[in-house]
Amino acid sequence: MTAVVGILNKTAVALAADSAVTVTGPNQNKIYNTANKIFKLSKYHPVGIAIYGSAELLTTPWEIIIKSFRESLGNDKFNTLLEYRNKFIEHVQTSDKYLTQVAKGQAIRRLLDEFIQRHVGKKRFNPAGFDHAAFISYLDRQHNRFSNRAEAGSSGIAPNTINDFIDAYDLRHLITQRGINAGNGVFEAVRRTIVAYFQSGEFFDNLSSGLVFAGYGENEIFPSLQSITLGEIVGNVARWVEGKSDIIDDSNSGSIVPFAQTDVMEMMITGIHPYLTRVYHNGIEQVITDLLNTISGFPLDQPAVDQLKAHLSRIDVGELVKRFDDNVQGASFRYYVEPTVSTVAFLSKEDLSDLAENLIYMTYMKRRIMSAEESVGGPIDVAIISKTDGFIWMKRKYYFKQDLNPHFFHIYYKEKNNANFEQS
């Protein structure tokens, strides 16, 4: 897990992220505080990218993919940030370096293992005691859930493409390899569930990555932010859905956009923890329902009881709960969100950086104090991207000492320096 935030105003956009990465083992999880999650998307133009969720696409680390794209992009530029995003997705889909047959096969295996693991839960898997009927029932529920989310998918992967992809890796053999009898309807249930999954807009957290694009296109004078969730590659088509986005313009002069573990940041922005919002919503609904039931049970004469129940039946509990929610959200916006966002609109680059860093730090402190697993932690990387100055690191961890490696910085811009020399 991780925490990432983008803060935008007309001057610049700040990106901040922690360094924690969770490695899942057979018996326990191990957290390392060394991950890089913010990168330049272009060496020469004001565009950056942040990642959260899975650190890999199929079997390749995102850092390698991003830096490969950056090299292939060279000095090319696009008019809008959206075009940079689309070009990156195209690069991911068309590069044979990442889409090896081994990697594609592992995508199916990981998904199958995920279905089995979620069905078995925390119990140790024992093929001899595996309940096939219960497994099929579980898969049917998953199939229905994925089917209901099909319209949310942005990838448009055709069922035939998915079926060809499944057939290429002998799904029946993969099932039996895991000690499960593929007969008795298991194979058919797994197949249709996988097809529905690949067509849906839903992802398993450990099988997908969040990508946050931030900065400027050539024709944009104010920054914007675009995010997507990207999962598997099926038949050279990336399965992805659009996420949060924000564009700074004359009608929107400041914005704070948190990602991944957002609860603490949302509490700082809105004045109320998102979990408490759900508690209040469910609680007030239950209180109103109980009150109405209590009133209807008053010991009255039958005509009076019938009249009272008729009046109570016309009370719309949902509407009362909505009015309560609207009042809470209105107070939150008036006293917390609006003052905060209004202030963000006028922050300098330095203050944008400080705010972004401290929102991540507050999340880290909350996890450190209250969680058994410190899933946010390590050094906080912060970058500022502006139209005039480009991508600037405010804070960044290096795995090497800069003074011992001057050649790194010379080589980094070597091709552009050579191009400038040749042009002159």
Q: Per residue in 159-181, pLDDT tens?
A: 888 888 888 878 888 888 878 88
**DSSP codes joined into one string, 125-176:** P-GGG--HHHHHHHHHHHHHHHHHTGGG-SS---HHHHHHHHHHTTHHHHHH
Predicted pLDDT at 316: 82
CB atoms within 10 A of CB 198: 27
pLDDT at 251 exceeding the cut of 90 = yes
User: CA 288, CA 351: separation in Å to the nearest integer?
Assistant: 45
Cβ–Cβ under 8 Å, residues 227 and 210: yes
Tell me: the pLDDT tens digits for 124-159? 566 667 788 888 888 899 899 888 876 544 556 778
Residue for token digits 């009046």?
Answer: 311
By CB neighbour count within 10 A (0-12 exposed, 13-18 middle, 19+ buried), where does 149 fall? middle
Question: Please, how many CA atoms are within 13 Å of residue 181, restricted to the half-sphere of its CB?
Answer: 9
Tell me: the pLDDT tens digits for 256-282? 999 999 999 999 999 999 888 888 888
Q: Which pLDDT band, with edges at 50, 70 and 90, does 423 fall under?
A: very low
- The phi and psi torsions of 145 (rounded to 5 degrees) equal -65, -45
0.75 exceeded by the pTM?
A: yes
Residue (of 237, 264, 201) closest to 1 by Cα position:
264
Q: Which pLDDT band, with edges at 50, 70 and 90, does 421 fall under?
A: very low
User: CA 99, CA 106: separation in Å to the nearest integer?
Assistant: 11
Predicted pLDDT at 424: 30
User: For residue 200, which amino acid is it?
Assistant: S
- Collapsing DSSP to helix, strand or coil, 97 comes out as coil
Predicted pLDDT at 416: 55
